[in-house]
Amino acid sequence: MQIRFTKMQGAGNDFVVLDETQGRLGLTPAHYRFLADRHFGVGADQILTVRPAPTDGVDFEYVIHNADGGEVEQCGNGARCFARFVHDKGLTAKTEIRVQTQAGVIAPRLTDDGRVTVNMGAPVLEPARVPFDASGLPEQRKAQALTWPLELQAPALQPQVEVVAVSMGNPHAVQLVADVEAAPVAVVGPLIENHVRFTQRVNAGFMQVLSRQAIKLRVYERGAGETLACGTGACAAVVAGILLGVLDHRVDVHTRGGLLTIEWAGGAQDAVMMTGPATTVFEGQIHIPEEL
């Protein structure tokens, strides 16, 4: 099967974008894994699929698959690249685009400086909705919990980490570290990603506070491994930092792939606003082997 794709990146988080506005390609998880493969396919952290609006009130639907082939609820860097894609392809003349995702409707907006701002919706902290299984933890811990203890099954490392569990439509476990460059992301990241208390697995964020208006962040992503940036991860980290009292309401998030700016007023119903880059790298076509 020969398919056309667009390669894009947002702060170094990279994507294969597929246009299904004229009809479905009928791809399977194995096909998504092949497209994401950096040796046998195109190479990407996620595959983004653009589809026609499923209902009134939105302009498009966008579907997200991780490199491991699994469909997920939300992708922040992907939302910015989606908006750039539909605008530059002439699929819409709008600069603020309402799009249905598995996690609900979001509205990326193309700004005059070439970046994209996205209303990512309100964060969710209720454990059952992250989802995070708090069973067996002391009752008083549940009552006032902001951070949760995660026992790590890796004796060579610290036996436990404290994380803030927050959903941006997709689950995040954020911890404070003194130095992100020295943080054991490659070892602790997978342990957190697959921790039994995160029943849908989780994205593991490692946040270093530089000031009340700036952090450095590394994220070991669910279904993709460490990426150069994670948009929903940046939102989750800033929400966690504001709740912990160490960040103000507008924060520059320095990732390995670039700068994201996150704003959150701090109310449970307040939307998290994310601004950052979205770049088309190249167009291409690829043969997907039938035997996948």
Contact residues for ligand API, defined by CB under 6 A: 13, 45-46, 66, 72, 75-78, 170, 203, 221-224, 227, 230-233
Half-sphere exposure of residue 245: CA atoms within 13 angstroms, side-chain side:
2
Shortest separation between residue 263's beta carbon and ligand API, angstroms: 16
Of 77 and 142, which has the nearer Cβ to ligand API?
77
232 is in an annotated binding site: yes
Of 21 and 200, which has the nearer Cβ to ligand API?
200
- Active site (annotated) includes residue 230: yes
Question: Which residues are CB-contacts of 116 (< 8 A; sequence separation ≥ 6)?
Answer: 10, 79, 80, 83, 84, 108, 109, 110, 275, 276, 277, 278
Q: How far apart are CA 208 and CA 142, in angstroms?
A: 26
66 is in an annotated binding site: yes
Cβ of 86: how many Cβ atoms within 10 Å?
23
Contact of 50 with 200, CB cutoff 8 Å: no
Nearest alpha carbon to residue 206 among 178, 177, 234, 240:
177
- Active site (annotated) includes residue 75: yes
203 is in an annotated binding site: yes
* Residue in the block written with tokens 């103000």: 248
**Local structure of 31: helix, strand or coil:** helix
Shortest separation between residue 157's beta carbon and ligand API, angstroms: 23
Of 182 and 239, which has the nearer Cβ to ligand API?
239
Active-site choice (75, 83, 238, 242): 75
266 is in an annotated binding site: no
Beta pairing class for 225-227 and 214-221: antiparallel
Of 59 and 221, which has the nearer Cβ to ligand API?
221
Of 101 and 147, which has the nearer Cβ to ligand API?
101
Nearest alpha carbon to residue 10 among 260, 266, 285:
260
Active-site choice (11, 230, 234, 262): 230
Nearest alpha carbon to residue 101 among 167, 172, 165, 50:
50
119 is in an annotated binding site: no
Shortest separation between residue 32's beta carbon and ligand API, angstroms: 13
Shortest separation between residue 175's beta carbon and ligand API, angstroms: 17
Contact of 114 with 124, CB cutoff 8 Å: no
Shortest separation between residue 197's beta carbon and ligand API, angstroms: 16
104 is in an annotated binding site: no
Rounded to the nearest angstrom, the gap between the alpha carbon of residue 165 and the centroid of all alpha carbons in its chain is 14
- Residues that constitute the known binding site for substrate: 13, 46, 66, 76-77, 170, 203, 221-222, 231-232
Q: Give me the active site residues, please.
A: 75, 230
